[in-house]
Amino acid sequence: MRAVRHHVYGEPDVLTVEDAPEPHAGPGTVRVRVRAASVNAFDWKLRAGWFQERIPLELPAVPGKDAVGVIDEVGDGVTGVQVGDRVFGLGDATFAEHAVLSTWAAAPDAWSDEQAAAAGLAAATAGAGLDALGDLRGRTLLVEGAAGGVGSAAVELAVARGARVVGTASERNHDFLRALGATPTTYGEGLTERVGALAPDGVDAALDTAGSGSLADLVTIVGDPSKVATVADFGGGRLGVTVTGSDAATAATLEAAAEAGARGAYTPRVEAAFPLDRAAEAHAHAQGGHTRGKLVVTL
């Protein structure tokens, strides 16, 4: 099968499209013929070698942690799906013609393949972060880094759960946040005062999706570290906040996102789509930062 691989750690140009062995569904998994996969920050950081001591890759490696596709193999013990079903979800080595998913949900008809790919890891991570904060109905939530892939998913999913959302982003993305249903403000120095003016009755909870060092400010704004969660700052436990991420997500997390998508409450945002043979360009774009929503690779 055709797949994107890298034989060494390095910059985006180490990625090449080449023939690779096909994976097969094992117990509790499904294999899909991939239609699209998204580019996540974790992908390019793995490729660049940021985590090679903690998470060493078996090279050559195929990047990608999520995808949408049509099931063509069903592993032992799997129920509720069959060959031919269109699903989106989480797996490994998804920048390829075939990939194995370990967690999935039916992709709603309302989503294009690009949108369904964009929903995978982003919705799983955002959903896990929101779940950690409890019932959000009627509450005011602050989302730090609200214009990115995970942040934009968190905004729409929180609004769908009945929250009022204040989101941080650069000024160029404020109209984007308004379209998602959030009240925008800029990040950085003075955040406490700006949020106080926008939410004079206080902020009930905060979700950090940026990992930009703002957790202490978020705790100050909310007033209780147990009501702050981060999916991006893995040292956050030192402040007493909840550290979570896609590992805490289940099929139910993805199903909730799909249900919100089916009723028009959540539309995964895609900044750009690249064909498989331009995967290196997609990685370079993601590595440059300040992406609005997600980047996807199509097959």
Residue 48 lies in a domain: yes
Q: Residue 27 is encoded by which pair of tokens?
A: 């117990």
Final residue before a domain boundary, out of 222, 243, 264: 243
Final residue before a domain boundary, out of 198, 224, 243: 243
Residue 202 lies in a domain: yes
- Residue 236, pLDDT score: 81
Residue 128 lies in a domain: no
Looking at the fold, whether 212 and 256 belong to one and the same domain comes out as no
Q: What is the DSSP letter of 33?
A: E
Long-range contacts of 261-265 (CB under 8 A, 24+ apart): 261/108, 261/110, 261/111, 261/115, 261/119, 262/108, 262/109, 262/110, 264/110, 265/156, 265/159, 265/160
Looking at the fold, whether 157 and 203 belong to one and the same domain comes out as yes
Looking at the fold, whether 138 and 236 belong to one and the same domain comes out as yes
Whether the full predicted model's pTM is greater than 0.85, yes or no, is: yes
Cα–Cα distance for residue pair 236/87, rounded to 1 Å: 33
Distance (Å) of CA 5 to CA 12, 46, 50, 51, 182: 11, 12, 17, 17, 38
Residue 55 lies in a domain: yes
Residue 282 lies in a domain: yes
* Coil, strand or helix at 290: coil
Q: What CATH code is carried by the domain that includes residue 73? A: 3.90.180.10
- Digits of tens for pLDDT over the chain (299 positions)? 999 999 999 999 999 999 999 999 999 999 999 999 999 988 989 999 998 888 899 999 999 999 999 999 999 999 999 999 999 999 999 999 999 999 999 999 999 999 999 999 999 999 999 999 999 999 999 999 999 999 999 999 999 999 999 999 999 999 999 999 999 999 888 999 999 999 999 999 999 999 888 899 999 999 999 999 999 988 888 999 999 988 888 999 999 999 999 999 999 999 999 999 999 999 999 998 778 889 999 99
Looking at the fold, whether 181 and 86 belong to one and the same domain comes out as no
Residue 127 lies in a domain: no
Looking at the fold, whether 109 and 95 belong to one and the same domain comes out as yes
| Residue 172 CB partners (closer than 8 Å, separation 6+) | none
Q: What CATH code is carried by the domain that includes residue 239? A: 3.40.50.720
**What is the distance between the terminal CA atoms of the chain, rounded to a whole angstrom?**
12
- Residue 172, pLDDT score: 93
Give the sign of the dihedral formed by CA 44, CA 129, CA 178, CA 159: positive
Looking at the fold, whether 220 and 291 belong to one and the same domain comes out as no
Looking at the fold, whether 203 and 258 belong to one and the same domain comes out as no
Looking at the fold, whether 117 and 44 belong to one and the same domain comes out as yes
Final residue before a domain boundary, out of 243, 263, 290: 243
Domain boundaries, position 234: 133-243
The b/e string for 121-142 (b: 16+ C-beta within 10 A; e otherwise) is bbbbbbbbbbbbbeebeebbbb
Looking at the fold, whether 217 and 146 belong to one and the same domain comes out as yes
Looking at the fold, whether 156 and 215 belong to one and the same domain comes out as yes
Looking at the fold, whether 92 and 22 belong to one and the same domain comes out as yes
Looking at the fold, whether 8 and 107 belong to one and the same domain comes out as yes
Give the total number of structural domains in the chain: 2
